[in-house]
Amino acid sequence: MSAQFGKILILIGVLLSFSQSVFAIQGKRTNFLDSGPGAAGMSFGGALVAKGLDVSAAYYNPATLVMQNSGAFLEYSQPNVNASRSWLGLSAGGSRYSLGFLWKNETLPLSSNKNAFLMSSSVSDRSIPFLPKGSSIGLSLGYIQENIVGYSASSFLVSAGAAYTKTVRSWDFGVGTIIRNLYFSGLQFISAGDKEVWPIEPEFGGYISKWGVKVLMSAKGQNQNDLQYGFGLGYQPVSFVEFRAGMNGHPRFGVGLEIKKIRLDYAMSLGEIKNANSMTLSYLWGKPEKIKDYTNPITELSARYESLPEYILAELKNTAQSGDIPELHDVFRLLVVDPKSEDGWSFYTALTGKKRFKVRLPFFNKSKRQYLDFAVSFANDAANSKELGQQFIYKYPRSSVSKLIKEILVSDEAVQ
């Protein structure tokens, strides 16, 4: 553990010392890649240097591409009638390495346009053994091409990033950094003119999440006295909806909706003159399998819950095949850990003469955890299962699983 912690401290120390020297020599400048892709990134205030969401990680920090869904997305916005901005992204990979591609296009008045092409790659500690556990590194190679009122110029750039994530009990947290424009060959519009060189720009950030709530923050800039800060807040009450808010110069708000493999993100940034709107459509596939942290109580509880149905169903079938009638209590043991079990409901109907009723696991993380606690206890015939069931009914009387718990409590009282 101490060796692991030492590696992390060394990595952070190197990045900090390098960035301090960068801050000291740079002046404040901007370019058309100052803002990143995706309505989700916009609503989070762009504070995604430590937390990847999708292929947009290829811009915010290529190191966070690892462990993201493979996918593609398209974003289009029109700041005014004479200008438009669009992003196209594509990524593929898994838990060891990932690749991402981004294309940004801006059309401007007077037949002017700007294009940026970014090719990013990321590898995790699973591919590079000497990296601290939970860390990853990434690299972005870019090509910039601009046409301004008949004058053209192009340039190459290189950016690099690192990230570290960890889960402690039910808390997820992480830190990340990216050094943008480590190399920039320069834009020269006139052969006799000077090259426009984008300055090296470091950015740091962190995030923490628990119970469907995530908090993100970042700081970037070329001068210690003129940093640009980003803040983001997200709340995911159910698995397919996330509400977002952020701040980066102006307040931002947004929402994300994910159904199966399709995700739609919307964001609005409140401006002094005009509000800016953004919408992103994404198609996701191939989410890499995460290593389960069984020191996390929720993960351990879910694993126990998922392991019980097969064992209890085998007991019921053996009882029926031997010619005996299964006990209703054992049928309920199966239903609490597998509410969709056809065999369980068949036994229930045969033993009680009652019809099957709908039972769905709670959507909200807090109520789901409390139900899992009851279900695992009851399935294992723990002494406190009745008390846990009563507590759940008291807190969540309208939940569909409360009806099942009531049936169980009434049945157990009748037997006693």
Question: Quick check: is 291 in a domain?
Answer: no
98 plus 193 within the same structural domain: yes
Confidence of residue 27 (pLDDT cuts 50, 70, 90): very low
User: Is the Cβ–Cβ distance between 114 and 103 less than 8 Å?
Assistant: no
Q: How far apart are CA 108 and CA 131, in angstroms?
A: 44
- Same structural domain, 214 and 167: yes
Q: What is the pTM of this model?
A: 0.65
Using CB atoms within 10 Å of the CB of residue 279, give its burial: 0 to 12 exposed, 13 to 18 middle, 19+ buried.
Answer: middle
- Contact yes or no for 78/89 (Cβ under 8 A): no
Please give the pLDDT value at position 16.
46
Q: pLDDT digits over 313-362, tens only? A: 999 989 888 888 889 999 999 999 999 899 999 999 999 999 999 888 88
Residue 110 lies in a domain: yes
User: Residue 255: pLDDT above 90?
Assistant: yes
Into how many domains does the chain fold? Answer: 2
pLDDT at 137 over 50: yes
pLDDT at 246 over 80: yes
Is residue 96 located within the same domain as residue 164? yes
What does the alpha-carbon distance between residue 396 and residue 416 come to, in Å, rounded to a whole number? 26
Q: How far apart are the first and last CA of the chain?
A: 52
**Within this chain, do residues 386 and 340 fall inside the same structural domain, yes or no?**
yes
**At residue 59, does pLDDT exceed 50?**
yes
Q: Which of 228, 260, 285 is a domain's end point?
A: 285
Q: What is the pLDDT of residues 275-324, one digit of tens each?
A: 778 889 998 886 655 544 444 556 677 888 888 899 899 999 898 888 88
231 three-class SS: strand
Q: Which of 99-103, 360-364, 373-377 has the least mean pLDDT?
A: 360-364
Last residue in a domain, options 265, 285, 305: 285
Task: Name the phi and psi angles at 303, rounded to 5.
Answer: -65, -40
Same domain, 19 and 97: yes
Whole-angstrom distance, CA of residue 71 vs CA of residue 264: 13
CATH of the domain at 104: 2.40.160.40
In the block, tokens 């200008």 appear at 83
Task: Find tokens 């590079």 and name the residue.
Answer: 128
Residues 186 and 102 in one domain: yes
Mean pLDDT of the chain: 83
Residue 281 shares a structural domain with residue 309: no
One domain, residues 325 and 263: no
On whether residue 14 sits in a domain, the answer given is: yes
- DSSP code for 187: B
Q: Which of 262, 285, 308 is the last residue of a domain?
A: 285
Q: Average pLDDT of 213-236?
A: 84
- Find the domain containing 337 and state its range: 297-415
Residues 308 and 383 in one domain: yes
